[in-house]
Amino acid sequence: MTNDFNNGLNSEKLRSILRSLAAEKKVKQWDLGASCSKDHFVQVDKGEAKQLKASQRSSITIRVWNNDGLVGTTSTSDLSKGGIEKAFVGAFQASQFGNPNDIPDFSPLAKSELPKLSKKLYSFKGIKKLLELLRTAEYELLNKHHAIQNIPYNGLAESEFQRIYLNSEGASRNIKSTHANLYLYARAEENNNKPRSSGAIRIANGIDELDINGCIEEAAKRTIDHLNYRPIDTGKYLVCFTPEAFIELIGAFSNMFNARAVIDGVSLSTKESLGTKISVEELSIYDDSIHPSNVNACSFDGEGTPTKKLCLINKGILENFVHSESTAKQFGVSPTGHAGMGSKVSVGIDWLVISGDTVNPSKSKFNHKEYKDKFILIEGLNALHAGVKGSQGSFSLPFNGWIVDQGQRISIEAATVAGDIREVLNNIIHIEKEQQVTHQGISPHVWVDRLSITGEE
Amino acid sequence: MKNPSEFIASVNSQWKSTLESLLSTGKRSGADFIEIFIENIDNINILAEQDLITSVTPSFGKGAGIRVFLDKKDGFVSTNDLSEKGLSEALEEALGMLGLEPCKSNCLYFDGLHQIRDYGIEKENWLYQCPDLLESTEKILLGTNNIKNYGKHITVRRGSYSRTFQEVLIASSDGTYARDIRLHQSIGLNVLASDRTNRSSIGRRYGSSDQPDDLSKWDPEKSAQDICESSNKMLYADYVEAGQKPVILSNKFGGVIFHEACGHLLETTQIERGTSPFSEKLNKQIANKSVTAVDEGISKGAFGSMSIDDEGMEPQRTVLIEKGVLKRFISDRAGEMRTGHKRTGSGRRQNHTFAAASRMRNTYIMAGKYTPKELIDSVDNGIYCKSMGGGSVGPTGQFNFSVEEGYIIKEGKLTEPVKGATLIGEAKEILPRISMCANDMDLAAGFCGSISGNIYVTVGQPHIKVDSITIGGR
């Protein structure tokens, strides 16, 4: 039952075990992705520790190619020698069912130079320190306004993470990182009105970098601002998405940039969509995995391919898809550093960057701070997993937001915004110049005309 | 991949003394209560696309979760390291979280573990009895192949099968010592239909627990026929008009709304947080008199059934609401400690990395006296929600659910299909509006994600009528 890798993963030891198993089973080609992490997490309730958690996790995913060239994959969290052997045998057996029409190979870039990430590694503060910080944060937030009754969803966490990629041709990738995150979601109620809830999240490389005060201020402001609310009539409205909300919306439809989804026929795009206009000219979108603000940045993907900044939409034109080795081969391009690992390799975006308007930045009257006529400011979208039909393009999502009229904001009681992402992209009437960093990416405020909103009567 | 692990064989011979030593250390160090949860998993996922198997993914794992209580606080540590050293370190870390110093001496500080309650002893051959890879893959391919016979404009055909085999060992300082084996299997089909301008996507999933031979009972032809019928209708559906209308929710998976919008608010985790509007409503009318709702873990073969919960307690049949009156909350050990509501055998977790929490099992509204036709006949202008998509509930109890397959009801008759509908409301406002329950209660398997991870559950209900609800659309 001994786990040989409790104090971190050792690439050479893993390679040695895999080499020996491959020789024994007469397997010539294999690769491996491994990760291990340690986490601390605290949650409080009115000054008392509610939940204190720590975890040590490790897992590996092994791919083997059998003599017919077919691939099998197995993962395990048992990193004892016996556990790794069981996974290796499992992968070999699974390879009998490998897909002959789509055989992944090693990434041609698995040994290429990696981008340099300027990330600092932080030491653990420990549970006691986390608890002290979160108690203080909760206390300060509770005292921001008499209507804030409790902070039902709160948590402060720190983690260390190590990730490895190895293959039988000698590729070796290894990265370590540290993260910290804080979330505070308050519940407020006054004057016999319905309870309201809102909050904020902060992510950083370590506790020392975490903007705790900023999180408290934002959570308080968002919660208090929503205390006074009114219903909204069902209808079509001029809408301004905050950076956070617009990134959430684009992220929910990221299959339009995903080569795997294109090949599988479940994307809104087809191979022929590349080079065509899919949005207004003012819109450019990048996926920038290695952006300095991306706390979760990793210099390589699940196949060892270096990550990089990639233009997805350039001035309204669909320019690139994100790829794994397998999808890139089918499109005749290079992998882009967006792969997971598996017998069927998944592909996904990392960190969206939406450009500010560089065409007419100062000419537009649409500025969320100055616009005088009535519009709806959507601050955050909810229930994305339920309200988005990714393969159809439609969405119907509850949101937190305001009716803004003559510069005055009043919170909306409860409402849903619905539409089609392709229409949204083509009905953008303005993209503000100033970009904001969110925990999911970077975007300016984006204005869209005539979106359907349903109010609760 | 079908050999029983060495883990099973070693339960009695090796684990008891190790666990007693750990529990004793915990008690001696000043903890009120210590619980150790150990698991061993052997899972497989298979994906078929069009007429090919495109992914076969086995996964294995072992780990432990150690939870220590002191007063009403608890510290939880999980680890993949099941060596004595690894477990001792995890215990020490959990004790340290609560400000307790590990006290090491050889004497036992509690009465020891009881005789093991081994619910797994009759289940050890289940892994052998499950379909092998060849049988599983052939069955899924039958499903995707059958879709060709029934679907129009079908461009994507997918089938998937998942089998999870979980062996758990639970030991705690009150002497609880129990072992169980859980087997869950699910199989489903998904299609995407499209022509040049329209698209529809539909998915259906079937699941069971503790039925090794269950895959053989799945009818790929009927499933394909069912999903294609829905897909064909929805391909040319118009967007629904938003507004406030009566709705009829179908039986089986229609119960997802009750699960999400009401069931979660009856879990003691929500009571602890102060986020349930029902926390002070025990023995008060919270729903229409037509509503009696139950949560239980005992229906044979149902996805949310189990021999013991993840705290070693046998599950119960818990009547939550009786004729509209709130009768009981869903509670686990921590919930009982913090809220006073007695445990219901509902302490559940996805795996060893989560502490158990009060979670639903098989949750459903009981059958009423009407026929489904009588419900539809009673609506002049409304929506029939034949199939629900996913949904969520916010921290203030507001819910939002997408309707996967819906039809307009005009003057008591089902008419044209509609898409893009979302049901929006709050449980405390909607429960009194469930005015009619039909006599066709049935269950459907599902997955529930919450504080202690993703777990297997069953939702269910008969056809029900909600007199008025906000429908989001375009």
Q: What is the CATH number of the domain that holds B117?
A: 3.30.2290.10
Tell me, yes or no, whether B11 lies in a domain: yes
Residue A266 has pLDDT above 50, yes or no: yes
Task: For B233-250, write each residue's pLDDT tens digit.
Answer: 999 999 898 888 999 999
Give how far B397 is from chain A: nearest CA, Å: 9
Claim to verify: residue B39 and residue B187 sit in the same structural domain: yes
Q: Identify all chain A residues contacting B390, using CB atoms and an 8 Å cutoff.
A: 383, 385-386
- The length of chain B is 474
Please state the ipTM of this predicted complex.
0.90
Tell me, yes or no, whether B415 lies in a domain: yes
Mean pLDDT of B17-23: 93
Give how far B54 is from chain A: nearest CA, Å: 5
Tell me, yes or no, whether B138 lies in a domain: yes
**Which residues, in sequence order, are CB contacts of B17 under 8 Å at separation 6+?**
none
CB–CB contact A127 B96 (8 Å) = yes
Residue A358 has pLDDT above 70, yes or no: no
Give how far A273 is from chain B: nearest CA, Å: 14
Tally A–B CB contacts below 8 A.
234
Residue B107 has pLDDT above 70, yes or no: no
Q: Identify all chain A residues contacting B425, using CB atoms and an 8 Å cutoff.
A: 456
Claim to verify: residue B310 and residue B396 sit in the same structural domain: yes
Q: Which residue has the higher pLDDT, A253 or A416?
A: A253
Q: What is the chain B residue with the closest CA to A149?
A: B274
CB–CB contact B93 A54 (8 Å) = yes
Q: Band of the pLDDT at B1, cuts 50, 70, 90?
A: very low
Give how far A390 is from chain B: nearest CA, Å: 10
Give how far B94 is from chain A: nearest CA, Å: 8
Mean pLDDT of B181-206: 93
Task: For A401-443, write each residue's pLDDT tens digit.
Answer: 999 999 999 999 888 899 999 999 999 999 999 999 998 999 9
Q: Which of A90, A266, A387 sits opposite B192 (nearest CB)?
A: A266
Claim to verify: residue B227 and residue B271 sit in the same structural domain: no
Mean pLDDT of A215-243: 94
Residue B158's domain spans which residues? 6-235
CB–CB contact A3 B86 (8 Å) = yes
pLDDT in the model for residue A356:
81
Please tell me the total count of domains within chain B. 2
Q: Which of A73, A74, A416 sits opposite B422 (nearest CB)?
A: A416
The mean-pLDDT minimum among A167-171, A414-418, B8-12, B94-98 falls in: B8-12
Tell me, yes or no, whether B1 lies in a domain: no
Answer with the one of B235, B265, B299 that is the final residue of a domain.
Answer: B235
Tell me, yes or no, whether B278 lies in a domain: yes
Answer with the one of B190, B206, B235 that is the final residue of a domain.
Answer: B235
Q: What is the chain A residue with the closest CA to B474?
A: A452
pLDDT in the model for residue B424:
86
What are the two backbone dihedrals, phi and then psi, of residue A45, each rounded to the nearest 5 degrees?
A: -140, 105
Q: Band of the pLDDT at A452, cuts 50, 70, 90?
A: very high
Helix (H), strand (E) at residue B402: strand B398-410
Mean pLDDT of B323-338: 97
Tell me, yes or no, whether B219 lies in a domain: yes
Claim to verify: residue B98 and residue B73 sit in the same structural domain: yes
Task: For B438-450, write each residue's pLDDT tens digit.
Answer: 999 999 999 999 8
Claim to verify: residue B265 and residue B224 sit in the same structural domain: no
Give how far A362 is from chain B: nearest CA, Å: 33
Residue A1 has pLDDT above 50, yes or no: no
Claim to verify: residue B179 and residue B130 sit in the same structural domain: yes
pLDDT in the model for residue B5:
46
Mean pLDDT of A119-146: 96
pLDDT in the model for residue B69:
95
Answer with the one of B210, B235, B260 that is the final residue of a domain.
Answer: B235
Q: Which amino acid type is present at position B391? A: G
Q: Which of A76, A344, A397 sits opposite B59 (nearest CB)?
A: A76
The per-residue pLDDT of chain B, averaged, comes to 92
CB–CB contact B55 A264 (8 Å) = no
Q: Identify all chain A residues contacting B402, using CB atoms and an 8 Å cutoff.
A: 386-387, 389, 396
Claim to verify: residue B338 and residue B231 sit in the same structural domain: no
Instruction: Compute and round to an integer the Cα radius of gyration of chain A.
Output: 24
Claim to verify: residue B177 and residue B248 sit in the same structural domain: no
Claim to verify: residue B117 and residue B223 sit in the same structural domain: yes
CA distances from residue A376 to B26, B242, B274, B308 in whole angstroms, order as listed = 56, 18, 31, 51
Residue A8 has pLDDT above 80, yes or no: no
Residue from B196, B198, B189 nearest B156 by CA: B189
pLDDT in the model for residue B32:
95
Q: Identify all chain B residues contacting A195, using CB atoms and an 8 Å cutoff.
A: 396-397
Tell me, yes or no, whether B405 lies in a domain: yes
How far apart, in whole angstroms, are the C-alpha atoms of residue B421 and residue A319?
Answer: 33
pLDDT in the model for residue B2:
38
Q: Which of B75, B397, B400 sits opposite A387 (nearest CB)?
A: B400
CB B79 within 8 A of CB B90: yes
Tell me, yes or no, whether B100 lies in a domain: yes
Q: Identify all chain B residues contacting A386, using CB atoms and an 8 Å cutoff.
A: 389-392, 400-402
Claim to verify: residue B40 and residue B116 sit in the same structural domain: yes
Claim to verify: residue B273 and residue B319 sit in the same structural domain: yes
The per-residue pLDDT of chain A, averaged, comes to 93
Claim to verify: residue B371 and residue B401 sit in the same structural domain: yes
- All structural domains of chain A, each given as residue ranges with its CATH number in brackets, are 127-228 (3.30.2290.10), 230-250+359-455 (no CATH), 255-354 (no CATH)
Give how far B420 is from chain A: nearest CA, Å: 7
Q: Which of B47, B80, B397 sits opposite A56 (nearest CB)?
A: B80
Q: Identify all chain A residues contacting B160, using CB atoms and an 8 Å cutoff.
A: none
CA distances from residue A179 to A9, A159, A210, A296 in whole angstroms, order as listed = 18, 5, 10, 8
